[in-house]
Structure 1
Amino acid sequence: MEAKDLRHSEFSNVLEKHYSGRASDFSKRFLKWFLENIFRLDEFAADDACVDAKHDKGVDAIYVDDVSEVVYVIQAKTKTSDKAELGDTELKDFYGTLVQFGSAEKIEELEKETKNERLRQAITRNEVSEKVAAGYDVQGVFITNVPANDDAYNYIEKAEVIDLHDATEIAADYVDLDVDGGISERFDFDVSDSDVIEYDAGGASARIFLASALNLTKMKGISDGALFEQNVRLSLGNTKVNKSIKASIREKKEHGNFPLYHNGINVLCREILEESDQTISVEDYVVVNGAQSLTSLLSERAKITDDLKILVKLIEVKGDVSLSQKITRNSNNQNAIKARDMKSNHNLQQRLKAEVSKVSDGNFAYEIKQGESNKGKEIISNEAAGLVLLAADLEQPWSCHQKYKVMDDLHSEIFGRPGVTGARILALWECFQEIPTVLDELENKPFANYALTKYFIFFAVIQIIKDSSEGAHILKSLDEFSKNDQLDELAAGFAILARNAAIDLNAELAPEEDDYFDYKSDLKSPKWCRAMSAKLLAQHKKDVRRDKADSVADAFDELLE
């Protein structure tokens, strides 16, 4: 990605494609894109963070990191002109916004005074005043889709409480996960100022040395992620680790100590071509541990001195794929990695992958690891499928914002059941795809666009279907419908019931302008979800009796014949 790609004329189409139902304008879409792709929040946490609305006091999002004990106050300012730049005026205004978070007392005052219910609820829900009183830092994050000018950069040097992410910074931080990985060319490592340790393990030859950080930033594929093909985590964006690395880079007097603080990077290559006292030349290389370090170095390359060196473990694998995978797995196991990666070879997941492909005649791919090559197929990620099962089978829509549990704590409970087959997953998935169109029926648009809402409605409709004998039969026969190519009829019937449920839900919810309810908390409450689902079921029965709605039998008439 380049800075020009973020211009309004270029990027608006990208945001429209990916966020058409989750935000109403370019600025709000850009904010959510940033939170998910650069700040590395999942869609649930990103939605929770956003408070952008009238009377927002200059705050567009609030995110509390309890690990690093930081309250992030985020503001987005986008510009429509392709020639626009960011100066210091808006940064100064944002500094004034941050003053409101200067103490617990000021935050409590802001909470009382603001007319923006989303901001008030975010402050309350995240216990911002209490955490600032307990010692949490407050950090401003200013984002924009245009480059910053010298005035802006000069101001940022003084205003340490503001992290600036302009178009140049964002483009450098962004990692395109769809880009093919691996660098198939030569690279020369500078070892002129380092001793080299040689190690021969029999199956592979290794070199360990200190490399110039400036030399490493010349490796291709850092900004687009191609260099990190086998690194299970890629760059994690604006994490505590990345901020710490960047802080060390900016502190020039610490450059000599950098190898003492840093674990180094692991590089695999097909072949070591030649060696001398000055360089080690390699052919076809990939970084399997060190994405965060190299992306941080690239973004701060202007501040790197000759004293800054990185420990490099270079391993020649000679095309041995098995050895390469083993090195990747073990080197990354020393750091936190996603449970999904660890479960990718689990028997349950491998079986479901094969079953989905078979029952769909190869039209669907059950993706068990990010980066698989499934071109031309409709993708169902195992993590997304797990959330659908969590809402429908385990009846826990309120837990669907904790998607990390799908491949971890709840993996066996969700997937390890005899009834969980590839055919069942495909059937439920097709029904779930009807939910986005149903959300248009909801009058409360912020509620409709919230990530958890779709799982609640899915759960509520499943409860309606399950309540009738016909519906119970349908749910027990999902495998049969998938195998008999009746998914279109199944999805159509589900859509009828879901649309009726959405209309009934409008009647149950107070209009936004009269009584703004805290849906971000309610949708995470088992009590609220169960109670509201019961109300929708009761209303469905009344509507059927009064001939105001289709029954479950009517909706699935073709399948029950």
Structure 2
Amino acid sequence: MEEIDSDDACVDAKHDKGVDAIYVDDVSEIVYIIQAKTKTKDNAEFGDTEIKEFYGTLQQFDSKDKIDEVFSETKNDKLKQAITRTRLASKVESGYDVLGVFISNARANDDAKAILAKLPNIELFDAEAIANDYVDLDVDGGIKGSYYFDTSDSDVIEYDAGGAAARLFLAPALNLLKMEGIADGSLFEQNVRLALGNTKVNKGLRQSIKEKGEHKNFPLYHNGINVLCREISSESEERIEVQDYVVVNGAQSLTSLLAEKSKITDDLKILVKLIETKGDSALSQRITTNSNNQNAIKARDLKSNHNIQQRLKEEVSAISNNNVAYEIKQGETNKGKIVLKNESAGLILLAMDLAQPWSCHQKYKVMDDLHSDIFGRPDVTGARIMGYWKCFESVESALDAIEDKNFAYYNLTKYFLAYAVVSLIRTDPKGVAMLNNMKGIITSGGEKELVDLIGVLAKSLAFDLNAEIVDKDEGAGAFDYKNELKSPSWCKKISARLVAQYSKDILRSKADPIGTLCSELSVAK
């Protein structure tokens, strides 16, 4: 989950009806009701009482009527806002499953395990389960027994590395799902990534599986799975039979396939790399570690060779006298330099230059759908990026002036405040000229003056923002900043009010005109 998603899910407060977080997975169509219990005593355990209470909590969310009742009764504004924001009632009514997730740093005792066996809609992450996620590669995991891969519709590439034999082939997805240990995870005991939960990768896999027309193309864009076995016991044109096997890379794929088993057709095949280790545990560990030590390719990596990003990298280095590294690809070595990731720069430009702070929670779009809009304009230069970045850092330092600290340090707030500051500056032609003169400001040594100016304006607007977010009507609900900051209409409305308030302060001689403040910087060379 992205940081903002986990923040949005949290509803923990007084009167939370036993719920600490609500997360709705629209791909899997599952509502996760999450409760966490901590104990301070070492080696603590919990029994069936806690599980029974949590089961009662879940019953409050298993129908639209019950959810509506919770909404009307609770005094917890976070819970109310989450129910509204996620459209929880309508989604449960439409058929979304409700799954409980119980998390604790204590161990479940036998009584707790016994009742959990009768309650399939509760998933447990106790001390033992959490610890098991940190896999010890010295443990020889996997499945003891035989299994055969169906190769009747695939050529097989054979490779002998001296100490190990390898086979590369396409296997039907339905054949692979017959391997033991997928559901309980025992097949993946050596896999250092495990299934990784409902990550973006898993969601993408499951969405691809649902599109039957894409099944024939699956091997074209799917990396496949790596399987180790102690022995390849027999081979024919139809099948390869193995003894004692484990999947060391592919847990995400197989768990996603299992979850969407009913959607799988005979056309869906998976690339399999099968390696016979002959019981060599050292070789097995090296394969496991290396096959899981490859970072996923992100959209920003695919854009790293784009001429725009290469140009901006050179320009940022030049304007900063080689002190700032504009990082365009994960894993770059920039020792001794201040690093500005192009993804972060894109979010800043999205809020301040394109005036869309409400879209800044969609970070994945910056280097993908929005790349040309953000970076492809002629006026986007290394100097512009450097200048806006320094301005943004100054805005962040003003967040402490916001009284509601939860709102102040919510991830989208800094982008909104930066947008409001720039909106104010753009009310005067000299302000616009200043924003378009970042190269002149930096090369003339005016960077500190620019940063100080932005800081003063940001703090002024932050103080005024406090008044805007206070509920003036006693009957009004609490301010749902998690929802409002993603709303274009709210952002535009509140920004306009902040600009209007600053204009009033000018008339009352409580603030200086924007033209006066920006005059010198607008013509700096």
Q: Deviations over 1:135-176 (max 9, x none)?
A: 11001122234454444444433322112223444455479x
Identify which of 34, 46, 51 aligns with 1:74. Answer: 34
Q: Output aligned runs, 1:40-439, within 5 Å.
A: 41-170=1-130, 172-173=132-133, 197-199=156-158, 207-208=167-168, 217=188, 222-223=191-192, 236-239=196-199, 264-266=224-226, 290=250, 292=252, 312-313=272-273, 338-439=298-399
Q: 2:74 corresponds to which letter in structure 1?
A: T
Identify which of 482, 505, 508 aligns with 1:543. Answer: 505
Partner in structure 2 of residue 524 of structure 1:
486
Q: Deviations over 1:180-228 (max 9, x none)?
A: xxx9xxxx9999976894347xxxx962379998998575xx43x6xxx
| Residues 207 and 161 of structure 1: CA distance in aligned 2, closer, same or farther (over 3 Å) | same
| Residues 364 and 156 of structure 1: CA distance in aligned 2, closer, same or farther (over 3 Å) | farther
Is the 2:395–2:454 Cα contact (8 Å) retained in structure 1?
Answer: no
2:223 and 2:99 map into 1 onto residues whose CA distance is 27
Q: Measure how far apart 1:97 and its partner are.
A: 0.7
Q: Measure how far apart 1:52 and its partner are.
A: 1.8
Which stretches in structure 2 are left out of the alignment for 5+ residues? 160-164, 170-175, 206-221, 235-246, 257-269, 276-290
| SS in structure 1 at match of 2:24 | strand
Is the 1:77–1:144 Cα contact (8 Å) retained in structure 2?
Answer: yes
Q: Measure how far apart 1:379 and its partner are.
A: 2.9
Residues 438-447 or 79-88, more deviating: 79-88
Q: Which runs of 4+ in 1 moved over 6 A?
A: 188-196, 209-216, 240-243, 275-278
Q: 1:537 corresponds to which letter in structure 2?
A: V
Q: 1:531 corresponds to which letter in structure 2?
A: K
Q: 1:517 corresponds to which letter in structure 2?
A: F
Q: Deviations over 1:13-62 (max 9, x none)?
A: xxxxxxxxxxxxxxxxxxxxxxxxxxxx2223222222222211111221
Q: Measure how far apart 1:532 and its partner are.
A: 1.2
1:518 and 1:215 map into 2 onto residues whose CA distance is 43
Is the 1:216–1:294 Cα contact (8 Å) retained in structure 2?
Answer: no
Q: 2:356 corresponds to which letter in structure 1?
A: Q
Partner in structure 1 of residue 425 of structure 2:
465
Is the 1:423–1:483 Cα contact (8 Å) retained in structure 2?
Answer: no
1:477 to 2:437 alignment = yes
Identify which of 497, 507, 514 aligns with 2:457. Answer: 497
1:89 and 1:382 map into 2 onto residues whose CA distance is 50
Residues 446-455 or 481-490, more deviating: 481-490
> Which has the greater radius of gyration?
2
| SS in structure 1 at match of 2:340 | strand
1:456 to 2:416 alignment = yes
Q: 1:47 corresponds to which letter in structure 2?
A: D
Q: 1:109 corresponds to which letter in structure 2?
A: E
| Residues 170 and 478 of structure 1: CA distance in aligned 2, closer, same or farther (over 3 Å) | farther
Q: 2:303 corresponds to which letter in structure 1?
A: K
2:451 and 2:331 map into 1 onto residues whose CA distance is 29
Is the 2:431–2:519 Cα contact (8 Å) retained in structure 1?
Answer: no
Residues 489-498 or 512-521, more deviating: 512-521
Q: Measure how far apart 1:397 and its partner are.
A: 1.2
Q: Measure how far apart 1:101 and its partner are.
A: 0.8
Q: Measure how far apart 1:120 and its partner are.
A: 1.4
Partner in structure 2 of residue 303 of structure 1:
none
Q: 1:134 corresponds to which letter in structure 2?
A: S
Q: 1:487 corresponds to which letter in structure 2?
A: E
Q: Deviations over 1:93-143 (max 9, x none)?
A: 211110101211111111111111221122122221111111110011222
Which stretches in structure 1 are left out of the alignment for 5+ residues? 1-40, 176-182, 226-233, 246-261, 269-274, 279-286, 297-309, 316-327
Q: Measure how far apart 1:524 and its partner are.
A: 2.0
Q: 2:68 corresponds to which letter in structure 1?
A: E
| Residues 507 and 354 of structure 1: CA distance in aligned 2, closer, same or farther (over 3 Å) | same
| Residues 193 and 107 of structure 1: CA distance in aligned 2, closer, same or farther (over 3 Å) | closer
2:323 and 2:384 map into 1 onto residues whose CA distance is 16
Residues 547-556 or 132-141, more deviating: 547-556
| SS in structure 1 at match of 2:401 | coil
Q: 2:508 corresponds to which letter in structure 1?
A: R
Partner in structure 2 of residue 506 of structure 1:
466
| SS in structure 1 at match of 2:346 | helix
Partner in structure 2 of residue 322 of structure 1:
none
| Residues 339 and 508 of structure 1: CA distance in aligned 2, closer, same or farther (over 3 Å) | same
Partner in structure 2 of residue 19 of structure 1:
none
1:411 and 1:510 map into 2 onto residues whose CA distance is 37
Percent of aligned pairs sharing the same letter: 58
1:73 and 1:139 map into 2 onto residues whose CA distance is 6
Q: Deviations over 1:306-365 (max 9, x none)?
A: xxxx974169xxxxxxxxxxxx9xx999xxx75334323322223223332333234333
| SS in structure 2 at match of 1:118 | helix
Q: Measure how far apart 1:264 and its partner are.
A: 4.6
TM-score (norm 2): 0.71
Q: Measure how far apart 1:412 and its partner are.
A: 0.8
1:80 and 1:375 map into 2 onto residues whose CA distance is 41
1:453 and 1:488 map into 2 onto residues whose CA distance is 24
| SS in structure 2 at match of 1:433 | helix
| Residues 519 and 189 of structure 1: CA distance in aligned 2, closer, same or farther (over 3 Å) | closer
1:443 to 2:415 alignment = no
Q: Deviations over 1:51-109 (max 9, x none)?
A: 22221111122121121111111122234445444444333221111010121111111
TM-score (norm 1): 0.67
Q: Measure how far apart 1:508 and its partner are.
A: 2.2
